[in-house]
Structure 1
Amino acid sequence: MENRTSKYNIHNGRGIASNITELIGNTPLVRLNKIGSGLKAEIILKLESFNPTHSAKDRPALYMIKKAEQEGKLIPSSIVIESTSGNTGIALAAVCAAKGYRLMLTMPENFSVERRRLLRLLGAELVLTPAELGMQGAIEKTAELKAKLPQAFIPNQFENPANPESHYKTTAEEIWRDTDGKVDILVAGVGTGGTISGIARGLKAAKPSIRIIAVEPAESPVISGGEPQPHLIQGIGAGFIPRILSLELIDKVIRVPGKEAVNMALRLAREEGIMAGISSGAALWAALETAKQAENSGKLIVASCRTAANGICPACLWVTRSIFTYINMCIYC
């Protein structure tokens, strides 16, 4: 059935969307009212959890698919294959479901049953690889599948320029528009590097004086010159410097301890009513540290909250008893 334009408008002014992909983006900014009260700098959160699959990954997932369509790399009979264990897989599953593409995801077999169920619910086909091989095993399996399926397309989120482009064309413009150009500092975590690189490019083009602060796990501070190690903050800290990360746009890197990120995510829920992921807790912790500095008095700090409500996941009820159980079981962190 072809898309039709309706004469009726819904409350947010968008009209009636033709499909779920049209609801990606235009996420809100919100002030903190309790956390950080008394500081002379103001902290605003960009809530990417308002995207359809509750994370910032919806933006690059859609842009990577659309770019491949435009370049003729995706046709109706194509298969999309990606190695991912996180929110990119969920976002790709939703986008592919809406657009009618077959999706295969490779991931280590030790990732949670809850995550696998959600991906299958969205129509994704899962190819599990030996746990002892980690994500490298999943990446190698993707290459193996590609060799057998020549019509397959691999988005490759860590290297695809459409990833940061999605944030340059949407997230940066939204932040600039919704702050009336008054944003002074951006704080964002680094996973693939797409979010911070795209937003930084857009904001610095509009206002060169804007400072860009990158957030990484203190336990695995690769961007700031440390060694890759296991850490608690899923979603950031890939253990290597991604090719699409624009290091030249970053003014400062803040290392956030994993337990501080977890505690800040809990505070967001209990004190502000905002259910956000651990990577969002890390960004807020870094934003608070930035706001405490005298030279930032009177400035407007925007922190990117990348992920959604961990608190609604039944597995997360274990958080007060075991941080590690929480990390390993939650599908959204």
Structure 2
Amino acid sequence: MSTRVLVTGATGFVAGHVITELLGHGYAVRATVRDLAATATRAHLVDHATRIGGELEFAEADLDRDAGWAEAVAGCGAILHVASPFPAGPPDDDDELIRTAVDGTLRVLRAGAADPAIRRVVLTSSIAAVAHGHRDSAPRTEADWTVVERSPAYQRSKTLAERAAWEFAESLPASHGFSLVVLNPGMVLGPVLSPVTSTSHEPVRRLLAREAPGVPRVGWSVVDVRDLAVAHRLALETPEAAGRRYICAGEHVWMRDMARMLDEVYRARGLRIVTRPLPDVLVRAVALVDPGLRLTVPALGRVERVIADRARRELGWTMRPVRETVVDTAESLLLRGVVRPPGAVEPAFATAEA
């Protein structure tokens, strides 16, 4: 009988790939959704499980409520807590964003601790909990923590939620507890599995849709969602990973470099990508009326420098070239109709949890 793994946030971008990775390696998966009646949002996962003969079921549970978590955990041997709200724009209430992140994480961990069959929990955190608020520009490792007093709300929420998880895990008795592993991914890009997108796709979507006359001076340390899904499986399977954090991210990539990569590919197909730089002062002005662009303002000119050597060394993890990730992201957005080629009518698109 295959090990059953609980994956939280089934309809999210990262969780969808984690689920397909686990199914492809013989795991039975139970995945949480907020509403069991909303079958359309998870149809692509059901289709995939049917094609490969994988065992996939769903349980209703919400990070904001205690109800359903005990039932979701029952019969599982491990939890991959992937679900994490990501704001589509600056949060209206910083304290609410932080409370949701911390309380939701602890809610899942308490359910896992109450069931002695749960022996490992893998938590998806972020380099947002590692690399922000520092006064120097040194590359960051798993020994670093974001300085919450000098960081925006989202970075504070990820940091405080991860710290709460470690404190909770360390408080459990050795005879009745699970081992915790934390993954700290960078900007997650890669192909979407359905027309529902994540906030992380916005830079590529905006470039394809030509929504701005230029490219803001922002960039990220990128990870491919397919590689991140593999990292989740490796973190689950590697005994020595217990009690460790793992940065999962590559070198910093400017959005303008992404634009050039896409322009090289799509120019011959009649889709010109704007590659000219957008002055910071103009970005700040446009951000006053564009909530999506507003998220980039604190990141103008900022370079993310992190080191993923531990994941490579201890998990045997590898990353594909960033160009492949960026192009595959764009191809999937076009294929799924999230962005239409020039002359076509662009459909409405939705955003979901990261």
Q: TM-score range by the shorter chain?
A: 0.3 to 0.5
Per the normalisation by structure 2, the TM-score is 0.34
Per the normalisation by structure 1, the TM-score is 0.36
